[in-house]
Amino acid sequence: MGSITRVVVVNMGHKPVDEITDRAKRYRAQQNVKGPKRCVICGSTRNLDVMHLSGDEADGASKNLAYGCRKCNAKLSAAFKQIGSKVRTRQYNPTASGVPTFAQYAWAVSNHRRGAHDDGGAIIHATPRHKRIQYAKRIAEVKRGRRGEVPF
């Protein structure tokens, strides 16, 4: 009689790839890349990023990851785009509720501490760069308008 083998897959607290943002995929990939810190294409040791060899950022397996300089990574990406291969990365991953409002952003900036993985950081990262710049200018205007005020 044959034996039955039971395999248990442990997730280790990671969400499935289809449920995380592209930013989280890049962060996860940085933890899994193996090999020397030099571009696998040109050998450069400057401006290195994690390169997905198949062009698919959802594939975070170590065998699909390598270090690549930005120039070579951009060339590889352009080649994959030209042949219509794989899913292109969405650099901005807004939440279902959309772009955070100025009030949400102002709260996040005042409550978030650098390096903390908290709600403030999540709001800041969910805000597109052009909106962050716009909101920062508004915050600076508010601060300028309060100069000379008695704080009590």
Q: Where are the domains of the chain?
A: 17-83, 102-145
Among 6-10, 20-24, 122-126, which range has the highest average pLDDT? Answer: 122-126
Return the DSSP state at 65: E
pLDDT band per the 50, 70, 90 thresholds, residue 46: very high
Beta bridge partners of 95: 98
Residue 1 confidence (pLDDT): 53
Distance, CA of 11 to CA of 2 (rounded, Å): 29
Element at 71 (helix H, strand E): helix 70-83
Q: Which two tokens stand for residue 31?
A: 């933890």
* Average confidence (pLDDT) over 122-135: 87
Is residue 50 within 8 A of residue 89, CB to CB? The reply is no
Mean per-residue pLDDT of the chain: 78
Burial (CB count within 10 angstroms: exposed 0-12, middle 13-18, buried 19+), residue 29: buried
* Average confidence (pLDDT) over 113-140: 86
pLDDT at 49 over 60: yes
Q: What φ, ψ does residue 49 adopt, rounded to 5°? A: -130, 175
Element at 133 (helix H, strand E): helix 129-145
Distance, CA of 64 to CA of 55 (rounded, Å): 9
Q: Quick: pLDDT tens for 83-124.
A: 877 665 555 455 556 778 888 888 888 888 887 778 888 888
